[in-house]
Amino acid sequence: ESKPKQPESEGVDLPGVKHIIAVGAGKGGVGKSTVSVNLAVGLARQGAKVGILDGDIYGPSLPTMMGLDRFEAKAEGKHLLPFEVHGVKAMSLGSLVEDEKPLIWRGPMAHGAFRQLISQTLWGDLDYLIIDLPPGTGDVPLTMAQLLPLTGAVVVCTPQKVAQDDARRAVAMFRQMRIEVLGVVENMSYFIGDDGKEYDIFGKGGAELMAQQSGIPFLGRIPINTALRYNADAGDPSANFTGDDALARDLSELSRGL
């Protein structure tokens, strides 16, 4: 099959990387970056060589979520050295620009920046490279996904009806690009209160149903969890795997399910 190729969408080759996995979502704020980070750290904790690239160039979360903001980005000639944190090699555009400077991109610039970031980073040999895509089904996530020889994509969704509808569109986008959808993750599934009771704040089971209906594996659910939120803000995802037993179990299951 021959696809028409524009210069900015010409593929990037990463021969040292065995599997490139994109994490997408139909909309922002559902936990796409949270899932990306914890998938990466979870896989690394299982002994895999893992990298993570922040493709969410409009709102890069990795500098905060992985604690990259404590370090200066380092270059080696024309190349960038990834940050080595939590057993993972990480790179984010957010680490290369000043804080609070708006990241204003027109489409081709966005693709160009992403392409540069991914191809100039010295990833070395990796078993997995996780790509945190921008949310939605617009031109930018689509072109990014197209640039890379992806093994597949993971779609993140909350149990809410509106999130599922958007997630279905994300699934359809990947399928149209002939990218295998490896599974759906339901985030913010429920909340366990101090009383030990389960509260289904955004509803329950919607993402699993959506996965079933679309013929996609369901990778698991992550409840609304204060420690998860706290560790994200503190840039310490490793703590998710060593603290609260239920959280560590839920997150480890995700990476095992891939």
Work out which of 22, 52, 147, 232 binds ligand ADP, going by CB under 6 A: 232
Euclidean distance between CA atoms 230 and 8, whole angstroms:
38
Which positions from 183 through 212 interact with ligand ADP, judged by CB under 6 A?
Answer: 187-188
According to DSSP, residue 30 is labeled S
Supply the minimum distance, in Å, between the C-beta of residue 31 and ligand ADP.
4
User: Residue 138 CA to chain centroid, in angstroms?
Assistant: 16
Q: Which is nearer to ligand ADP, 80 or 250 (CB)?
A: 250
Binding-site member from 17, 20, 30, 207 for ligand ADP (CB under 6 A): 30
CB 10 → ligand ADP: shortest distance, Å?
27
Out of 32, 111, 115, 221, point to the residue binding ligand ADP (CB under 6 A): 32
Whether the CB-CB separation of 62 and 90 falls below 8 Å is answered with yes
Q: Is the Cβ of residue 25 or residue 126 nearer to ligand ADP in the bound state?
A: 25
Taking the complex as a whole, the smallest distance from the CB of residue 230 to ligand ADP amounts, in Å, to 8
Select 37 or 126, whichever has its Cβ closest to ligand ADP: 37
Q: Which contiguous run of DSSP H or E holds residue 232? A: helix 226-233
For 63, residues 6+ apart whose C-beta sits below 8 A from its C-beta are: 54, 69, 92, 94, 95
Task: Please report whether residue 38 would count as binding ligand ADP according to CB under 6 A.
Answer: no
Per CB under 6 A, which region of 22-30, 97-105, 122-130, 146-154 contacts ligand ADP? 22-30
DSSP per-residue codes, 91-137 = EEGGGTS-TT------HHHHHHHHHHHHHHB---SEEEEEEEPPSSS
Q: Does residue number 42 form part of the binding site for ligand ADP (CB under 6 A)?
A: no
Phi and psi at residue 253, to the nearest 5°? -60, -35
Annotated binding site for ATP: 26-33
Closest distance of CB 37 from ligand ADP, Å: 8
Question: How far is 41 from 28, CA to CA, in rounded Å?
Answer: 22
Q: How far apart are CA 200 and CA 223, in angstroms?
A: 9
Nearest residue (CB) to ligand ADP, 122 versus 248: 248
> Could you give the 3-state DSSP secondary structure of residue 70?
helix
Return residues touching ligand ADP (CB under 6 A): 25, 28-34, 61, 135, 187-188, 222, 224-225, 228-229, 232
